[in-house]
Amino acid sequence: MSQPFLPDLAPIEYRGPESTEPLAYRFYDAGRELLGKTMAEHLRIAVCYWHSFCWPGSDVFGDGTFERPWMGRGDPPLELAECKLAAAFELFEKLGVPFFTFHDRDIAPEGASPAETRSNLDHMIALAEAAMERSGVGLLWGTANLFGHPRYAAGAATNPDPEVFAWAAHQVKQALEATHRLGGANYVLWGGREGYDTLLNTDMRREIEQLGRFMQLVVEHKHKIGFAGTLLIEPKPMEPTKHQYDFDSAAVHAFLRKFGLEGEVKLNIEVNHATLAGHSFQHEIEYALANDLFGSLDINRGDPLLGWDTDQFPNSAEESTLALHSILRGGGLASGGFNFDAKLRRQSIDAEDLLHAHVGGIDTLARGLLNAVRMLEDGELDALREERYAGWSAGLGKAILAGELDLAALSRRVDEAGLEPEPVSGRQEQLENLVNRYL
């Protein structure tokens, strides 16, 4: 069980855009400087533990298709967890990524009692700490799995049973402390089953109060233990429940304001969650930036013909270019990063497929970054947008925003100055052509 997972595969290297080598980076050149930062610093790439090492390739119609040594039946669970950890770090190092992400239950199995579960986690966190030290791979974020165990079938913090709320608190306390111990840059809260399957049995007012209280407790504890990372909520509109309360960035924003948590919690935006909510990824990023909520990103893609979270690896240069253009214009990533919350297709059964998937995804981001930097440096797109709002930087626009004119004064202005604003072209097609020049 302690054999290498990827014995015949060399570390992935940058070979340049002309390379036809399938397992090489054509665009991701970690040390290359752009706008005063290296590519690695701009993108802060992370590999996730759950899809790449825990999910066995099962779907609702069929069993797992992946044969991984740590998925062996009958072996002691902690030994399997150790084997999985070794394989995970092999992949992180072969890819040369700076970060990973995990759920408590990905890294350490639940035991027969709370005490055993705790000791499993402590044991595995100590091993992860050593592997991080040895490899230099850091933790982008940790999180707790508050959706897998049957106790969470009716939600965690929003459960009708306060004892389940207590269990969720117990798990988040430990996962937050583990993240702190590993020097995590962020801690994520995705509302797994915080939503409802039917309104017939749901008291929405109560459930949202419970969720608000839960989040306040997490914020308090973060400060109590001195965790300096950022707390992030990950919006998602549906799946597994019919409706998830953290529907999209705007819904989470309203929730944070209601419970006095603005400034304490930011957003982890996922591509496929944005599209499930009927938004583009770029929309969710722009909303977060416009409201000082931008935190981190889960990167993947859906399938336009399927209505669920397919979590495929990203491969659209256009989508990554537009996202990175928004992010760079907004000041770039701070504690956040690009986390591959993406999974292989069920038929991609070889260990090597994990490398192909990540290499393609990383190159898609790198290519988006290179394009976005050129777009910013040329400045044409931003200049056109700036010009569109020029009226707001002086004269009438400035006076309106400064509160100098009430409704009556504005009305008088129209009458007295005889204002007759001329319609102006939005130039959408011109701008679309302009973006295509960079792709």
Catalytic amino acids? 103, 106
Q: Which is nearer to ligand XLS, 207 or 341 (CB)?
A: 341
Interface characters, 257-286, with Ni ion (x: CB under 5 A): -------------x----------------
What is the secondary structure of 266-291 as a DSSP string? Answer: EEEEEHHHHHHTT--HHHHHHHHHHT
The correct pick among 52, 117, 143, 326 for binding ligand XLS (CB under 6 A) is 143
The correct pick among 207, 298, 319, 363 for binding ligand XLS (CB under 6 A) is 298
Q: Is 309 in the site for ligand XLS (CB under 6 A)?
A: yes
What is the enclosing helix (H) or strand (E) of 100? strand 99-103
For the chain, how many helices (H) and strands (E)? 16, 12
Q: Is 363 in the site for ligand XLS (CB under 6 A)?
A: no
Question: Are residues 135 and 92 in contact, defined by beta-carbon separation less than 8 angstroms?
Answer: yes
Q: Is 286 in the site for ligand XLS (CB under 6 A)?
A: no
What is the Cα–Cα distance from 351 to 373, expressed in whole angstroms?
34
Interface characters, 289-318, with Ni ion (x: CB under 5 A): ---------x----------x---------
Partner from ligand XLS, Ni ion, none binding residue 143, C-beta < 5-8 Å depending on class: ligand XLS
Structure tokens at 248: 């999209």
Q: Give the residue closest to ligand XLS by C-beta.
A: 190
Partner from Ni ion, ligand XLS, none binding residue 284, C-beta < 5-8 Å depending on class: none
Minimum separation from the CB atom of position 243 to ligand XLS (A): 15
| Rounded (5°) CA angle 248-60-300 | 40
Q: Is 90 in the site for ligand XLS (CB under 6 A)?
A: no
Interface characters, 228-267, with ligand XLS (x: CB under 6 A): ------x-x-------------------------------
Q: Is 82 in the site for Ni ion (CB under 5 A)?
A: no
Q: Which amino acid would we find at residue 7?
A: P
What is the Cα–Cα distance from 9 to 11, expressed in whole angstroms?
7
- Measure the CA dihedral 305/306/312/317, to 10°: 30
Q: Alpha-carbon torsion 383, 389, 390, 392, what sign?
A: negative
Q: How many CA atoms lie within 13 A of 219 on its CB side?
A: 17
What is the enclosing helix (H) or strand (E) of 48? strand 45-48
Q: Is 341 in the site for Ni ion (CB under 5 A)?
A: yes
Binding site for ligand XLS (CB under 6 A): 103, 143, 188, 190, 234, 236, 270, 298, 309, 341
Binding site for Ni ion (CB under 5 A): 270, 298, 309, 341
